[in-house]
Structure 1
């Protein structure tokens, strides 16, 4: 059976599944809220099954919507990869393809990009494992990642030790929320450490909601639906209204940040510059 679906429909489903809010989805998609709601309702009617259910203040993707949302993410990434590769081929050595994990990109990427005058830096954000895989396949030149060990294919230089804080809604419920929001594709070691920290605080093993962006995580925390354990540099850089933030002791959780490149990469000057820039911890007043 052939099912026709517009690529825009797939993007709407993918974004709403990621942010779990019609308001935020509309903002990201550049349209009004009614456009999002009406398109989802029409698509559910055309497909004959439910895509989203409302749980409290969240729009949660149904099991049937998950493969559509995943396809949207894959399509968008594939298109971006094609554009980066096209740009790379057209410009040659005047371009650097840089992968940065999202939590680090939020506070450091703009400064890193300014550190390469005369060179265009094309950024890719994603999980550390994905960035390392792309470097092995020669789809990226450099990466800034966490928890990646040297291999026969990768050169690794540790540049920074990152500290963490726990964020909760300022108006906390009487019963601590045993749910933690984390980035999709989170490192398994970091995930287990965060679960242990939240379990110690709440007295219960928390469920983990993996979301596609830091904005979605912060919005979920502000709503009181979850807590989050995030890099201190990121939390210090955002508006902390409606948030209660406390430090996580470094002996309980810290993360080594490393620059990586393929062993065949000969861009030594750019490597040295990136290592220095990534190692400068962001400062906030």
Structure 2
């Protein structure tokens, strides 16, 4: 088991295909297939469930992928610590879906122009899931929305550091004709900070049920059906075609922060902090 084999395993897991992984890595398929088979023999487990079209991670493969990301991240951190200077290597970054949709395109474009030797790998998840991935070194950093306590102070895990980057106006999309039955809130799965804020607001009025959605387009479809309200940043709402007659009600102002492990340093991370600071609307 070496760095190259782990990198191959990670790419195959991401692409779900040896063919696509070979194209991405610039290697022949047979070499990657052999490396994966040797890795499975060394570990004594089956990492992938293979069918005619895809290679899907087995439960053991899912577990090993988590450790692989940590190992590769720590190896990159060590490399950059020994060779400080021009940012290079891979920056594994997470983001909330809303931030990726409304904020990251110009940020990534500027970053790539200025630091072409850094490969950006982006994962989108709700805030709580991103925090766990950063804490366990599956991600180097992530854009999240940390919830404030009753006194308005940001609550951040003690083993993480953060930088305030953006502020967003959260709005509730309310259908033109509300259903006579108990209303639902369409929101991303539990762990989403925007959902938590909307639930707190609505539960202060009446207990609300939540319908999980996986994208903003499915949220809008739920609102269009007339029974669900949806919560999202005003900037994201502006990019979507809303159902006719939809009302927007202010929920709260929410900060977006970049978080990283306490003590973690890399030239790529420092470069991303600088780019985000220049793009900040604070």
For the aligned pair, the TM-score class normalised by the smaller chain equals: 0.5 to 0.7
Of 179, 203, 220, 2:222 maps to 220
Of 156, 159, 179, 2:162 maps to 156
Give the unaligned 5+ runs of structure 2: 1-55, 80-87, 148-154
Residue 183 of structure 1 corresponds to 188
Alpha-carbon offset, residue 176 of structure 1: 7.5
For residues 182-232 of structure 1, the C-alpha deviation after alignment (integer angstroms, 9 at most, x for no partner) is: 101244x754541354467xx643211122222221111112130112111
CA contact (8 A) 2:165 2:276 kept: yes
Alpha-carbon offset, residue 134 of structure 1: 1.2
Residue 276 of structure 2 corresponds to 275
CA 1:130 to 1:244, structure 2 compared with 1: closer, same or farther past 3 Å?
same
Alpha-carbon offset, residue 234 of structure 1: 0.6
Of 244, 247, 267, 1:245 maps to 247
SS of equivalent to 1:139 = coil
For residues 68-116 of structure 1, the C-alpha deviation after alignment (integer angstroms, 9 at most, x for no partner) is: xxxx9997x949x67x9499789x8422111001122121122222122
Deviates more, 1:175-184 or 1:216-225: 175-184
Q: Distance in 2 between matches of 1:144 and 1:95?
A: 17
CA contact (8 A) 1:165 1:245 kept: no
SS of equivalent to 1:276 = helix
Aligned-pair Cα RMSD in Å: 3.7
CA contact (8 A) 1:136 1:262 kept: yes
CA contact (8 A) 2:188 2:195 kept: no
Greater radius of gyration (CA):
2
Q: Distance in 1 between matches of 2:57 and 2:243?
A: 31
CA 1:274 to 1:73, structure 2 compared with 1: closer, same or farther past 3 Å?
farther
SS of equivalent to 2:143 = strand
CA 1:160 to 1:112, structure 2 compared with 1: closer, same or farther past 3 Å?
same
Q: Does 1:107 align with 2:106?
A: no
CA 1:74 to 1:135, structure 2 compared with 1: closer, same or farther past 3 Å?
farther
Q: Does 1:194 align with 2:198?
A: yes
Give the unaligned 5+ runs of structure 1: 1-71
For residues 103-157 of structure 1, the C-alpha deviation after alignment (integer angstroms, 9 at most, x for no partner) is: 2212112222212221221100001111111112211111100116344421111
Of 235, 238, 241, 2:237 maps to 235
Q: Distance in 1 between matches of 2:135 and 2:199?
A: 31
Residue 143 of structure 2 corresponds to 144
CA 1:138 to 1:240, structure 2 compared with 1: closer, same or farther past 3 Å?
same
Q: Distance in 1 between matches of 2:97 and 2:57?
A: 15
Normalized against structure 1, the TM-score is what?
Answer: 0.59
Residue 129 of structure 1 corresponds to 128
SS of equivalent to 2:271 = helix
